[in-house]
Each structure stands twice: as C-alpha cells, then as structure tokens.
Structure 1
Amino acid sequence: MPQWSLEDMVSMDGKIAIVTGGNGGIGYHATKNLLKHGAKVYMASRDSPKSHDAIQRLKEETGKDAIYLLPIDLSDLRGVRKAAEEYLSKESTLDVLMNNAGVMAAPVDQLTKDGYDLQFGVNVLAHFHLTMLLLPALLATPNPRVINISSRGHLMAPRAGFLWDKLKGPKKGSWIPGLGFIERYQFYGQSKLGNILFSNELARRYGDKGLIAISVHPGVIQTELGRNHNNINRWIYWNIAYPVEYGALTQLYAANTPEAKELSGKYLEPVAKVTAPSSLATDPELAKKLWEYCEQELKDY
C-alpha cells in the first residue's frame, strides 16, 4: 500500500506548473491533482482535439478553471522554443516544470523533425531544451522544482550508457538481424538514463540558486506508452501494470510536498521512495558528457 497518497497533498494556491504530455495518461492525472490543489497549470501538449477535450474534462472534474493549453510538439525543437517563448510572454515565474511526456519502444527508424532518434529526441533533448529555455522563470521563483519522469527502464541502456553515433541520422531497421525489438528497448533505456543524468546535472549546476531537480520512476502503469509493444509484451504489460492514477503519485509527491525540497538530485520509485538507480545513472562524467552533447546539438535551435 502507498505510504503517501493524494490526501497528503498540500495547497498549491498561487503556484504555477507546466506539465508536458498532460492531455492523457499519467500526465493527465498529475495535471488534475495540481489543478485541484490550487495550482495554475499549463498543459504542454499538441494543439489537438484530444488536448482541448482534456482541458474541458479537467475543468468539469475539478471545478477549477486555471488550466491552459501551451501548444508544443516535442518532436520539433523550434516548436519547443516557440512554446517556451509563449509561456515567458505570459508568466515571469514557474514553480513546477514536470517533464512528463515520453515515447516508449518506438521503431528505431522513427526520427524527430530535426533528425534525432524519436525516443532520445522527445524524451531527453526536447525536455532539456524546454527546461533551459524556461530557466529565467524557474530561477525567478523561490525553490522551483523540475520533475523529470524517468523509468526503471533506464536499466536497459547500452553498456556504455549511450549509442552516441546512433542518436541522430537515418537508421534503417535493425543492425542486429531479427532483433529489432531489442533495439527499441535499448534506445528507450538510454533515453530514460538520460532523464536521470540530466536531472542530476541540473541539480548540481543550479542547486545553489535554489532549483530542485528530481527524477522519478512512476511504476509499470497502464498507459498509451505500451502501444509499441509486440502482442506478447502488450498482453504482459496490461496484466501486470497498475492503474494510471497510481502512476502519478510519486511525481506529485516530488512536485508538491515540503519534504521533497531535500531530495534534489535524487531518484524516486513508487511510492515516493528514494532509490539507488544504476551506476551509469550516478556517473558524473557521463552526466557532464550528456549535458555538453545536448548543449552542442541545441546551439542552432
């Protein structure tokens, strides 16, 4: 049974949050509870009927109106900049940035609009870009929190951490004949490793300015992330996974509770438990290398 529940959430009156991927799954339930407890929430999702429907449902379910769409396409780095600029034109502070959206087990030949592996491009690079662009608002806020949604799937990362030469450019099918499904999870694993490393390095670089960065594994949850599994894995996934509401608990704990202020640079697993990730995930040199890679790749965006 959870040691922390939604009943333990404290008021977020006067606070502002952004949740990427807030129009469905775990992000929807995180958005709902932030809104319910008084936060003004920007749903950073595609400008789509799904997003508009989600906002209407959130208003009806919470009785709150302080929910706004921040249109964003995380597969388009210039679109990420546009979203950040739109936010900064409206708000000068930001209390919580929940980097929640993600792609799982996508075919390795799927690329972002800028030519990056889809899983790395969306899960890591786009969220790095968004966070850096929003730093002025974050650092203008007392004790801002950046919650990076990772996964125990980071354990599936390649032995060296990242396949650096495969992060960008066309990839035509599997380079391991007949084992393309393994590559999908390896690419997913390196992206989730990237979330933890980014979170740790963000905490190290900006902790002295009051910024709190926490990475979170939500658990094995029944969400649309499982749509790219093969039939056998999809059946297993849906029969062992927890309901989606459960998946939002740990990231809400990290975003909301006073005690989480002391957890910057930590990795949490359900529910709200500080856990040791892999040795790769705590490698400061690998974190620095990833940070510098992202900075270099984003210099023209």
Structure 2
Amino acid sequence: MGVAYSFITESFPPKPQFNVDRDIPNLTGQVMIVTGGYTGIGYHTVKSLLIRGAKVYIAGRNKEKGDKAIAQLQQDTKGKEALFLELDLADLKSVQNAAAEFIRREGQLHVLFNNGGVMVPPVSDVTADGYDLQFGTNVVGHFYFTKLLLPILLSTAKTTPNGKVRVVNTSSMGHLIGDLDFATFKDGPARRKKSTVMLYAQSKFGNVVYSNQLAKRYGDQGIVSTSLHPGNLKTELGRHRSPWEIALAGVILYDAPYGALTQLWAGTTDEGLKYGGKYLIPWAREGRPNPRTNDEKTGDELWTWLEEQVKDIA
C-alpha cells in the first residue's frame, strides 16, 4: 500500500501551487551551484535562479555543452550570465579539482543543487574509480563534492540572516523499489547480475539516505538538506530508456520546466527551510519516502562506507 500510494501520488500530481515567477524571492548576493545545470531540469533551475539575481555556477564535465547553455541562458534571461565549473562526478579526482577551483573563486556558497546524474546506462558502464556508474555518479560523486564544500557552506551559514544554507539532492520515485546492496557499489559479479533499472533505483535510494544523514549530522550547524523526486519528465536523462519501457511504466511525462519546480521551492523559499531531512515530491510538496531510507543503521553504514571511499583521493 505504501509504495503503491507513493507511486500514484508522485506520478499524477495536482496542479502546482508554486510559481517560479511569483514565489522565488530576490536572490541577489547569493552564490549557488547546480550540478548538471546545462540540460533538462538543471537548465531550468539555473534560468530561474539567474532571473532572480543569484550568481550561479553550472557544474558539469562537458565545457562545450556548458558554454552553449550559458549563451542560451543569456538570451533567455536578457543578459544574465551563468559561470561554468568543470566537474566530472564519475571521476573523484575531477570532483576534488572542481571543489578546489570553486573555493579558489568564491568565498560563499548559499545553495548546492546536487542535480546531475545518470539513469539506466548499460550495466557494463563504470566510473573512473571502478564504481557502478549510477551509484558512483549519483551518490559517491555528489557525496564527495558536498563533503569538500562543507567548510564553505558552514561558514556561509554563519553569515546569513537565518543562519541557514541548503543542499538540495535530486533523487527519484525509483528509490521506492530500491535498497542498498554494498556488494554491488563497485564493479564485480554481484553488480553485473543486477539490472540497470535496479542499479538506478539503488542509487536514488542512496540519494535519500545520504540527504537524511547530512541533515542529521549538520542540521544544527545550519545545513538544510532535502531530497526530492522532480517528476516524470521528458529530459535527456531518460535517453537510455526505450519507448516500451516508458509506456510500461504507465506514467505521464511532463516537460522539463516542471521538474525544476520542487527543487527551486526547496532551494529558495522560506517554506523550503522547514524540510531538512525530508523527501519532497511534485510539485513542491512533502512526500512519503521508502521507510527503509530512514533506518539509522542503514544511514550510518552508508555514511561510513562513503567516508572510507574518499579518504585517500590524491
């Protein structure tokens, strides 16, 4: 009943009450990063942030795509300019370099949108460090990026009027059928026996667990960490899905701008500050996550494992 209820609630949301033109406050003076910000919901997130005055970094691995998006954003926002930050989430050394470059360039970070990711690529695909491509990109890469940026996030929180900064973690409804099998995080026989769909669900489950743990460990220091399902969308993320897979899912696909609504609500509004450690759903509502994502033992084990993976990156 729980999974079925969540599937229906998230797949067929009511008309959105949150409006980007009306409800996003003035963001002048705020510095933000959107990973994967040059396509899909990331692009529309960046666009809305720029229009409201934020200084926004698009973090991604493809500079050509980044530059093209920045040029298009200038047209779409009547002259607002995003900045590019080279970041390959599937390469932990690149993650380290990206965080160092951002800290070199900026003294504050108000919102980190962990938006980028991969979905159902071939099972044979792995990261530069040997992790399953989906778990390595969606979870390990974002964990390490956030960890390296924690000092600047925490110092920024001390300077804001409300004492808060935000980390917005894009998960998926797919986490509802996920769990964590530690033997499949890195490449090996156990991982190769899993379907790419279940590996995706596992990575999105990991996003929710990690987000909850970040809220638990740093919420009292001003970090508001949320996870969310952005909606079932027509974006480049689904490029590996066949038409029959989409049809079989039995869901309506919405245009990409809808996907930005929930993370913009979480990342910019006063109301969004109330949802640290919560899971949000389309459009700009609190939802019901897989209850296993709130298991403290699972959360502690994942956090410990993640810390172990990144302790010796040189």
TM exceeding 0.5: yes
| Aligned partner letter, 1:145 | R
- Secondary structure, in 3 states, of the residue corresponding to 1:111? coil
Q: Which residue of 2 aligns with 1:155?
A: 176
Q: Which residue of 2 aligns with 1:82?
A: 97
- Secondary structure, in 3 states, of the residue corresponding to 1:57? helix
Q: Which residue of 1 aligns with 2:293?
A: 281
Q: Which residue of 1 aligns with 2:224?
A: 212
The structural deviation recorded for 1:243 is 0.5
Q: Which residue of 1 aligns with 2:166?
A: 145
The structural deviation recorded for 1:57 is 0.6
Q: Which residue of 2 aligns with 1:192?
A: 204
| Aligned partner letter, 2:116 | A
Q: Determine if contact 1:20/1:45 at 8 Å carries over to the other structure.
A: yes
Q: Which residue of 1 aligns with 2:108?
A: 93
- Secondary structure, in 3 states, of the residue corresponding to 2:300? helix
Instruction: Measure, in 1, the Cα distance between the counterparts of 2:228 and 2:215.
Output: 14
The structural deviation recorded for 1:169 is 2.4
In the alignment of these two chains, the number of paired residues is: 292
The alignment's TM-score, normalised by the length of structure 1, stands at 0.93
Instruction: Measure, in 1, the Cα distance between the counterparts of 2:184 and 2:149.
Output: 28
Q: Which residue of 2 aligns with 1:115?
A: 130
Q: Determine if contact 2:70/2:81 at 8 Å carries over to the other structure.
A: no
Q: Determine if contact 1:35/1:64 at 8 Å carries over to the other structure.
A: no
Distance 1:291 1:173, change over 3 A: closer
Are positions 1:4 and 2:18 aligned together? yes
The structural deviation recorded for 1:235 is 5.1
- Secondary structure, in 3 states, of the residue corresponding to 1:140? helix
Deviates more, 1:110-119 or 1:234-243: 234-243
| Aligned partner letter, 2:203 | S
The structural deviation recorded for 1:226 is 1.3
Q: Which residue of 2 aligns with 1:165?
A: 183
Q: Determine if contact 1:109/1:171 at 8 Å carries over to the other structure.
A: no
Q: Deviations over 1:114-142 (max 9, x none)?
A: 00000000000000000000011100112
Distance 1:239 1:294, change over 3 A: closer
Distance 1:186 1:99, change over 3 A: same
Instruction: Measure, in 2, the Cα distance between the counterparts of 1:241 and 1:266.
Output: 24
- Secondary structure, in 3 states, of the residue corresponding to 2:84? strand
The structural deviation recorded for 1:47 is 3.6
- Secondary structure, in 3 states, of the residue corresponding to 1:248? helix
Q: Deviations over 1:134-176 (max 9, x none)?
A: 011100112110000001100121xxx212111112459953x
Q: Determine if contact 1:226/1:237 at 8 Å carries over to the other structure.
A: no
Q: Determine if contact 1:222/1:238 at 8 Å carries over to the other structure.
A: no
- Secondary structure, in 3 states, of the residue corresponding to 1:219? coil
CA RMSD of aligned residues (A): 1.7
- Structure 2 residue ranges without an equivalent (≥5): 1-14, 158-163
Q: Deviations over 1:189-235 (max 9, x none)?
A: 11001111111100110011111001110010111121111341145
- Structure 1 residue ranges without an equivalent (≥5): none
Runs of 4+ deviating beyond 6 Å: none
Q: Determine if contact 1:84/1:134 at 8 Å carries over to the other structure.
A: yes
The structural deviation recorded for 1:284 is 1.5
| Aligned partner letter, 2:67 | H
The alignment's TM-score, normalised by the length of structure 2, stands at 0.89
